[in-house]
Amino acid sequence: MHTAEEILRASSEWVWFPRDSEHESGMLQLVRYPERFGGGVRGSQVDSTADAATVLDHAIERTRAWGESRLTIWTSASDSPDLEPEMLRRGAEHVDTVAVFALPIDDASVEVPAGVTAEVVRTLEQVREVDAINVPVWEQSPLDEDGLRIELSEVSAALDAGSGFRVLSRIDGEAVSTGGCTIVDGFTRLWGAATLERSRGLGAYRVVLAERLRLSAELGARTALVKGRVSTSAPILARAGFRHYGDERAYRLTV
């Protein structure tokens, strides 16, 4: 099992760069999201000797230079300095909270219901089904045919390299839930879990979780790391044995 310090460090180092995004690191990590994901700029991984006001001013200036008007900062216990008080002082809106969970994969216990299946994504049709789940759940734009093919290429390359994969689950043959993972330094980062609203509560997320843990162990991962939303996946993760290592909160400013 990784130590608590290693888990928190791995959590703070975890950042996503969507395809076609722009990004910059310095006082903090800034990522400009493409319109497909709603646009705007997201910041995290604050690491600076400057004070909070200076760091935030820099993030706001970069957001404006990119031509964006929405800045979202994810705060964590690893930030230096802590931007949360300064964000609140400037009227930022608290828009999201995730709980950082981790667990040795061998200790996981996921109750899998009958009648729900799981499969690793390997084909263009499966990628299309994943997109049909992600679009309504994450409120994003659908991929066009070129985008679907690029997505398949990326998923296939990660699977071939043993560095990650995506899972799809079905109820009565219908694709209803999905989730991905990336293997980094003995961790499997569990990300992107989404279940169609009409199919929630039927065990599809648990099946996706169990399959990701099983295959991650085969690929050499020792510890599962996930950021679960307090209102959705966090209770399921807790029941599966995941331990809580703190929270990360998102604050949004219109700049």
In a domain, 114, yes or no: yes
In a domain, 191, yes or no: yes
In a domain, 245, yes or no: no
Q: Looking at the structure, do residues 150 and 219 belong to the same domain, yes or no?
A: yes
Q: What is the CATH number of the domain that holds 204?
A: 3.40.630.30
Q: Looking at the structure, do residues 83 and 161 belong to the same domain, yes or no?
A: no
Q: What is the pLDDT along the chain (255 residues), one digit of tens a residue?
A: 799 999 998 998 999 999 999 999 999 999 999 999 999 999 999 999 999 999 999 999 999 999 999 999 999 989 999 999 999 999 999 999 999 999 999 999 898 999 999 999 999 999 999 999 999 999 999 999 999 999 999 999 999 999 999 999 999 999 999 999 999 999 999 999 999 999 999 999 999 999 999 999 999 999 999 998 877 788 888 888 999 999 999 999 999
In angstroms, the CA 92 to CA 109 distance is 39
| Residues contacting 228, CB < 8 A, separation 6+ | 98, 99, 101, 234, 236, 237, 242
Q: Looking at the structure, do residues 168 and 218 belong to the same domain, yes or no?
A: yes
In a domain, 230, yes or no: yes
Counting the structural domains of the chain, the total is 2
Q: Looking at the structure, do residues 45 and 82 belong to the same domain, yes or no?
A: yes
Q: Looking at the structure, do residues 9 and 47 belong to the same domain, yes or no?
A: yes
In a domain, 146, yes or no: yes
In a domain, 104, yes or no: no
Q: What is the dihedral of CA 100, 129, 132, 228, to 10 degrees?
A: -10
Tell me the residue range of the domain where 131 lies.
Answer: 110-239
Q: Looking at the structure, do residues 115 and 196 belong to the same domain, yes or no?
A: yes
Instruction: Tell me the whole-structure pTM to 2 decimals.
Output: 0.90
Q: Looking at the structure, do residues 33 and 117 belong to the same domain, yes or no?
A: no
Please state, rounded to an integer, the average pLDDT across all residues of the chain: 95
In angstroms, the CA 85 to CA 53 distance is 10
